[in-house]
A and B are shown apart, each in its own frame.
Chain A
Amino acid sequence: MDPRPAFTLESPEAVAALLERGRYVAEEGLAVAIFLALRLGRPILLEGEPGVGKTEVARVLAEGLGVPLVRLQCYEGLELEQALYEWDHARQLLEIRLLESMGEKDPARLRAGVYREEFLLKRPILKALELGEAVLLIDEVDRTDEAFEAFLLEVLADFQVTIPEIGTLKAKARPLVVLTSNRTRELHDALRRRCVFYWIDYPSLEKELRIVRARLPELPEAMARKVVALVQQTRKLGLLKPPGVAETLDLAASLLALGVEDLTSEALEPVLGSFLKAREDAEKVRRALGELLSALA
């Protein structure tokens, strides 16, 4: 019997409310998808442009559910050992020395003495399975290779891990698994089929305004509206790295910190870098700034 989902919420509205308490403004579709992931004990795969708040979902959920967030940041060349477990060789050697010094000479007993759970360095996936009641964030899964994806598929299918020296460790309950992808590589269908899927789009102006207001309540509404409108316009310029919501928040926070009271070219000049990550993009926006600002007025 598969482990049961660790927790459940009674409705998509309850999920939305929980996210809202974490100051995460969610679309109905996202709330429904998370609700189903919790209810069915399926992983949820979130895709979308960088900066739309995919990772944030996991953080807010963990906080709202009152469980630890276990994060596995993926990168190229990520090995199973870093995701699952490693043996603590240094401590194992010390233990062998210690046992030998106490007169233990039987190799089998020495082996048994060091291949125990206490010499296991538990990495995120094993940690999350052990906790059960946790949110496991597998961030930017598109950065790993196919072999790792295949391994994930196996773990997510039965929520158990076999360690040859110890045996099979099975999760007591299914942690909520949140996978995110920026689509630098196309994920395999098999993994997609195992997940509840949701594409997080750039938010609408009104929604983005709500996000900014929720996060930076001290920023005057009129100013917040202008900032959001400006960022939304720049997303239409075909930039290399269009600014995400995180960048909108960075920009708003910078303007707030600088005490800027009106959006002008001069005021924006020093903060362009806070929401445009590529130099070419900053140039492009700088050139279009006059036009963008007059459109806001």
Chain B
Amino acid sequence: MTELRVLETPLLRGLLGFVEALRAEGLSPGQDQVQAWLQGLLSVPWEGGSFYLASRALLVGRKEDYTAFDRAFRRYFGWLRPEFLPQQKALGSLPLLGQAEAEGEGALRGAYSPLERLLKRPLESLTPGEALVLARFLLALAFPRLGTPPEGGAGPGRGKGSLYPPPCAGPSGREGRSWTLAS
């Protein structure tokens, strides 16, 4: 579908990684559903509850699967918090990822974060772990406010009645502080 071309390839890969995460939870959305999901994501805001709710509405077909979906969502998108991303480095050097840099030119090569280096490699060459890291990183750039705000925050993911599944602890077991990538 032509509309889907708007999604940058790396981002598309990042999103499709979520489908793998769903499969790992025993859910198997059909190809048609995945396509509808990607198209649907083009028309909802990628922040707030919409991203989560749209994904659930398009990828899940029965109530019993809501729990598994939430687990996968938490696992896959739940780490989108600044301290798990190479903030300064990534943000500082990202503009350098133009044509020249992509071809390996320039003395600044050493400034690339490991993530940026992942960006340059074809997906097939990545291990599943690397692909996941890449996907999270790209998604964080695409919609930095997705995920869980700090305790008492006004955003999604907190408190009773929240639209988001409860937050999970990151790799270090800490909760996120606040979102800074957007500002």
Contact with A along B41-85 (1 / 0, CB 8 A): 001110001100110111011110010000000000000000000
List the B residue with the shortest CB-CB distance to A37: B57
- List, in ascending order, chain A residues with CB within 8 A of B142's CB: none
**Interface contact B61-A35, CB-CB below 8 Å:** no
B57 x A198 contact (CB < 8 A): yes
Contact with B along A200-215 (1 / 0, CB 8 A): 0000100000000000
Q: Is A83 an interface residue (CB 8 A)?
A: no
* A39-B43, A42-B36, A47-B63 as given contacts; A28 in contact with B57, CB under 8 Å: no
List, in ascending order, chain A residues with CB within 8 A of B33's CB. 193
Question: Could you mark each residue 5-40 of chain B with 1 if its beta carbon is under 8 Å from any beta carbon of chain A, else 0?
Answer: 000000000000000000000000110110010011
Contact between chains at A39 and B61 (CB < 8 Å):
no
Whether, in the assembled complex, A33 has its beta carbon less than 8 Å from a beta carbon of chain B, the answer is yes
Tell yes or no: B163 within 8 A of A by CB.
yes
What is the CA–CA distance of A12 and B54 in the complex, to the nearest angstrom? 10
**B161, CB-defined interface residue at 8 Å:** yes
Known contacts A12-B50, A40-B36, A40-B40: A193-B61 contact under CB 8 Å: yes
The residue in A12, A197, A204 that gathers the most chain B C-beta atoms within 10 A of its C-beta is A197
Closest to B66 in A: A199
B contacts with A, residue count (CB < 8 A): 24
Known: A192-B61, A197-B62. Is A12-B36 also a contact (CB below 8 A)? no
Evaluate contact between B54 and A36: CB separation under 8 angstroms. yes
A189 close to chain B: CB less than 8 A: yes
Cβ of B30 and Cβ of A193 under 8 Å apart?
Answer: yes
CB-CB under 8 A from A32, the residues of chain B are 44, 49-50, 53-54, 57
User: Which A-chain residue is minimally distant from B62 (CB atoms)?
Assistant: A192
B69 to chain A, nearest CB (A): 11
Q: How many residues of A contact B (CB 8 A)?
A: 23
Instruction: Report the Cα distance A103→B100, complex, angstroms.
Output: 86
Residue of A nearest to B65 (CB): A197
With an 8 A cutoff between CB atoms, is A141 at the interface? Answer: no
Within 8 A of A (CB), among B88-144: none
B163 near A194 with CB under 8 A, answer no
Q: Which residue of A lies closest to B160 (CB)?
A: A204
A36 touches B61 (CB 8 A): no
Q: Flag if B163 contacts A196 (CB, 8 Å).
A: no
Chain B min CB distance to A237 (Å): 22
- CA–CA, A187 and B63, complex, Å: 12
Interface check A217, CB cutoff 8 A: no
A29 touches B43 (CB 8 A): no
A193 touches B60 (CB 8 A): no
Give chain A residues whose Cβ lies under 8 Å from the Cβ of B40: 36, 39-40
Partner of B57, one of A47, A193, A194, A197: A197
| A199:B63 contact, CB within 8 angstroms | yes
Q: What is the CB-to-nearest-CB distance from A156 to chain B, in angstroms, rounded to a whole number?
A: 12
| Contact partners of B60 in chain A: CB under 8 A | 197
Given known contacts A45-B61, A197-B60, A199-B66, A35 and B29 CB-to-CB distance under 8 angstroms:
no
Q: Is the CB of B39 within 8 A of A40?
A: yes
Q: In the complex, which of the residues B54, B61, B163 has the most CB atoms of chain A within 10 Å of its own CB atom? A: B61
Q: In the complex the two chains form, what is the Cα distance from A196 to B36 in whole Å? A: 9
Give the interface of B toward A (CB within 8 A): 29-30, 32-33, 36, 39-40, 43-45, 49-50, 53-54, 56-58, 60-63, 66, 161, 163
* Interface set of A (CB-CB < 8 Å, partner B): 11-12, 28-29, 32-33, 35-36, 39-40, 42, 45, 47, 189, 192-199, 204
23 intermolecular pairs with C-beta atoms under 8 Å apart: A28-B50, A28-B53, A28-B163, A29-B49, A29-B53, A29-B56, A29-B57, A29-B163, A33-B57, A36-B40, A36-B44, A36-B58, A39-B40, A39-B43, A40-B39, A42-B36, A45-B61, A189-B61, A192-B61, A195-B61, A197-B57, A197-B60, A198-B57
Q: Give me the 4 closest cross-chain CB pairs, A-B, nearest first.
A: A192-B61, A33-B57, A199-B63, A32-B53
